[in-house]
Structure 1
């Protein structure tokens, strides 16, 4: 079965270091030092100067220019916040505003949840009629010394072991952000 564009994108990011000898953060630093601002120029430069494949170059450039994967599916993303779940968009936006400050990331959509990736998945966001569920690995909860996140099973990924439910953007506290950042940093 052929991979979806989102799965191809994730695969490119997950295998970048193995195939090129440099991880995503190293490629980000190299590209930023080049001073190139437009995507087309960045892609060509990465292909010519560093012999990257087209898809690798496109993914690196897309994440740096847009802060999200080239294959982000905005229609699928919007579906998560339709109807009685629309109030959760403000919570999501506040979380993404913080994540953007940390560096490159990707939001991928699934029918039932959203995945946040750095080099690996670091969080799951699931819209429910009762609030936005944030799922993270145990290591992030432990690092941030959080007692707010509760153990959970079957949230969408084996490694996601703890969750919290937020109802309003005012509940996106510094403590919640610390847990997410710990998870982001551990996904390197």
Structure 2
């Protein structure tokens, strides 16, 4: 199972000296000496000037200058729904359904979505503008013989993309037993033989 954003941040910061030769304090001094005050600009600078990987640079810059990685899950949810607060009950309903599928389900609140994982990512709830959440489902790349009437195939062109179908939803009332069954089917898809 993947790490939560908080676990990932802790691991990256802990491993800095071994991977980069500097601890967070050393990187803080460099960022301050460069006069950087914006986390995005600092992450870009860490990648370009010092060759850090993208995730390491973003986590380090956010740790030093503030940002999403410094927020707790509830604060990340508030940020995700900022300006689209009416979608929160729908997102909460989808999260409750996902958590009810099994004890191995983990929920990660990311910058643009809520990700649901068991052995692998099986679904995501992604606000799409102010009026809807797209429930993305990892159902494999084979055509479905009985898709939900509102289901839309997700075609990114990348065969490694896990999310292959989405159901656009506007309210918690649209989370019908059929939608819940599709979420359960995606959960089962990443747990073959269970």
**Larger Rg computed on CA atoms:** 2
| C-alpha contact (below 8 Å) 1:77/1:109 kept by paired residues | yes
- Within 1, Cα distance between the matches of 2:145 and 2:106? 23
Number of aligned residue pairs: give it: 124
Structure 1 segments of 4+ aligned residues over 6 angstroms from their partners: none
More helix by share: 1
- Within 2, Cα distance between the matches of 1:143 and 1:77? 35
2:176 aligned with 1:173, yes or no?
Answer: yes
Residues 89, 178 of structure 1: CA spacing in aligned structure 2 closer, same or farther, 3 A cutoff?
Answer: same
Compute the displacement of 1:145 (Å): 4.1
Unaligned runs of 5+ in 2: 12-70
- Within 2, Cα distance between the matches of 1:76 and 1:91? 16
**Corresponding residue for 2:150?**
148
Residues 150, 7 of structure 1: CA spacing in aligned structure 2 closer, same or farther, 3 A cutoff?
Answer: farther
2:102 aligned with 1:131, yes or no?
Answer: no
Secondary structure of the 2:92 match is helix
Residues 140-176 of structure 1 show CA distances to partners (whole Å, capped at 9, x for unaligned) of: 983864342111235xx81211112111111001111
Residues 19-70 of structure 1 show CA distances to partners (whole Å, capped at 9, x for unaligned) of: xxxxxxxxxxxxxxxxxxxxxxxxxxxxxxxxxxxxxxxxxxxxxxxxxxxx
Root-mean-square deviation (CA), in Å?
3.2
**Corresponding residue for 1:58?**
none
Compute the displacement of 1:5 (Å): 4.1
- Within 2, Cα distance between the matches of 1:167 and 1:145? 19
Q: What does 1:10-25 align with in structure 2 at a 5 Å threshold?
A: none
- Within 1, Cα distance between the matches of 2:80 and 2:90? 13
Unaligned runs of 5+ in 1: 12-70
| C-alpha contact (below 8 Å) 1:130/1:167 kept by paired residues | yes
